[in-house]
Amino acid sequence: MAMARMSSGLQYPERFYAAASYVGFDGSPRSSAKAATVGPCNVPEPSAWNAIERSKWSSWKQLGEMVSAEAMRLFVKLLEEEDPGWYSRASNFIAEPVNDAQMNHNSKPEPVVENGSSYPETKTFSAENGNPDESLEKDAISEGLDTIAVYDQWILPPISGQRPKARYEHGAAIVQDKMYIYGGNHNGRYLNDLPVLDFRTWSWSRIEVKAGSDSPSPVTVVPCAGHSLIPWENKLLSVAGHTKDPSETIQVKAFDLQTSSWSALKTYGKPPVSRGGQSVTLVGTSLVIFGGQDAKRTLLNDLHILDLETMTWDEIDAVGVPPSPRSDHAAAVHAERYLLIFGGGSHATCFNDLHVLDLQAMEWSRPTQQGDIPTPRAGHAGVTVGENWFIVGGGDNKSGVSETVVLNMSTLVWSVVTTVQGRVPIASEGLSVVVGSYNGEDILVSFGGYNGRYSNEVNVLKPSHKSTLQSKMIETPVPESVSAVQNATNATRDLESELEAGQDGKTREIVDNGDSDPTACTIDNFGLSL
């Protein structure tokens, strides 16, 4: 197995002493200060009328009665849930041990101090039964990006500034050297803030949205989730999404990066019904919208195009068999001609099918996938680098997907880029992934997600996008167009019944009340080579 650098963080009890000192309860053995809350609770029980103090006393008493190792881990766990970046902001602790270890959960690190600096991000997670689980080490490197020479591995960059609220189903977009995050869902609450991560300084800030008096149609942006954020002409376009009081049709809003104000864009033609969980793909000067779920939880597989030059909607009735109704899928465009749809979910099933829409012929097809075909998933994120389509995260409502995979869109060959261990934000639903540049190299940047807890973590991967793909490249001549798709007379069948039988998917936890997705076809194998 390949060897990799892995962040270990301080071991216990030192990590607990560091946490106690950070919050002002200096229990460090290096300090002469008296430990204010280390040890059993000797404070008299507060009056039942004082609910807050009584709650604090009960928590302290439970900690004091625990086995010391469990109590230490629980104390640190609670701190990390409230203040995830406490360790990187602490200043009076010993340098983080760093070790060379195999990337598996059973490796036991040997502490090695390096350069006297650290950005530890070791986290503890609660087990499903509510008992404190052992610390799960992340397969990530917590060092400055300048010192990292490894490819195809998720790392934790050293980030400063106040982190945004943890969330999932948000929008993310890169403009120049900044990543903008808009909206999302935190514990069922929709958000409408606009935090920004500057890649030049790796620091968070937040845009103060102005009233927009200079805008032709200023709006007060309502909180939303499940929308799409698209950069366009020094603006951020927010398309669709779920809101507390949904409109009847899709709304398109624009955030002007120069005036820091939102405005509603007037569109023409027949707009699609409002929805969330759709895909929105920028192709030339048009947005291609597919699928999603409307406000009544009806799954959709309709296709619409918004011309951004005329702001006119056009509903597309493409030939061929479209993907079954779904939401939380991923979409990408290849060679400005082919729209690819991968995965997603219905109420009952997660998918791992791949569909291609020829935007010139307006024809759907379902090509044969090759290589390490990904497992069914929904809520994943995708981004393209050249002809490579990277898919990150997602889940099947039972567990998060640990593999980051890549599809060569010319050969339709899948490869596994890397695999993470444990319940980490990379293996989440509703995370975002964008592609940026750092020191002249492409980087994938993920943010947020949900896998039993909400995340506000940033992870970075530098893709090699060569070694794993070249060995599987298929040498074929360049055709004038994609081969014609031939449908068998008995081609149409119930895709969900096939998936639930275990041939192509995994059953979701939510039971579908009679809604089936009847649209899949047997398609001749063809290569999509350009």
- Structural domain total, the chain: 2
478 pLDDT above the threshold of 60:
no
Three-state DSSP class for residue 223: coil
Q: Is 75 in the same domain as 153?
A: no
Q: In angstroms, how far apart are the furthest CA atoms of the chain? A: 83
What is the CATH classification number for the domain harbouring 78? Answer: 1.20.80.10
Q: Is 174 in the same domain as 307?
A: yes
**For residue 353, what are the contacts with CB-CB under 8 A and spacing of at least 6?**
323, 342, 343, 366, 495, 504, 520
The pLDDT tens digits of the residues spanning 483-528 come to 322 232 223 223 333 333 333 444 343 323 233 332 222 222 223 3
Half-sphere CA count of 381, side-chain side, radius 13 A: 30
Contact 331, 343 (CB under 8 A): no
**Is residue 432 assigned to a domain?**
yes
**Is residue 108 assigned to a domain?**
no
- Percentage of residues in the chain with pLDDT exceeding 70? 60
Query: Which pLDDT band holds residue 269 (cuts at 50, 70, 90)?
Result: very high
Beta strand 338-345 pairing with 330-334: antiparallel
Three-state DSSP class for residue 74: helix
How far apart, in whole angstroms, are the C-alpha atoms of residue 505 and residue 225? 26
Boundary-marking domain end, from 462, 481, 507: 462
- Tokens linked to 520: 């899949």
Amino acid (1-letter code) at residue 98: V
Q: Is 82 in the same domain as 151?
A: no
- Closest Cα partner for 278 from 235, 238, 337, 312? 238
Chain centroid, CA 475 distance in Å? 34
Q: Is 172 in the same domain as 284?
A: yes
Q: Is 171 in the same domain as 85?
A: no
**Is residue 25 assigned to a domain?**
yes
Phi-psi region of 462 (alpha: psi -120 to 50; beta: other; left: phi over 0): beta
How far apart, in whole angstroms, are the C-alpha atoms of residue 62 and residue 126? 16
Average pLDDT over residues 327-337: 97
**Is residue 510 assigned to a domain?**
no
Q: Is 386 in the same domain as 285?
A: yes
The pLDDT tens digits of the residues spanning 31-84 come to 433 344 455 666 777 766 666 666 666 666 666 666 666 677 667 667 655 665
**Is residue 127 assigned to a domain?**
no
**Is residue 370 assigned to a domain?**
yes
Boundary-marking domain end, from 428, 462, 496: 462
Owning domain of residue 81: 13-89
Q: Is 78 in the same domain as 188?
A: no
- Tokens linked to 144: 């400055």
**Is residue 506 assigned to a domain?**
no
How far apart, in whole angstroms, are the C-alpha atoms of residue 391 and residue 389? 7
DSSP state, residue 284: T
Average pLDDT over residues 419-431: 94
DSSP state, residue 60: H
Q: Is 440 in the same domain as 344?
A: yes
Boundary-marking domain end, from 462, 479, 500: 462
Q: How far is CA 413 from CA 70, 75, 249, 420, in A?
A: 47, 47, 38, 21
Share the mean pLDDT of the chain.
Answer: 74
HEC states along 372-404? CCCCCEECCEEEEECCEEEEECCECCCCECCEE
What is the CATH classification number for the domain harbouring 338? Answer: 2.120.10.80
CB-CB neighbours of 279 under 10 Å: 24
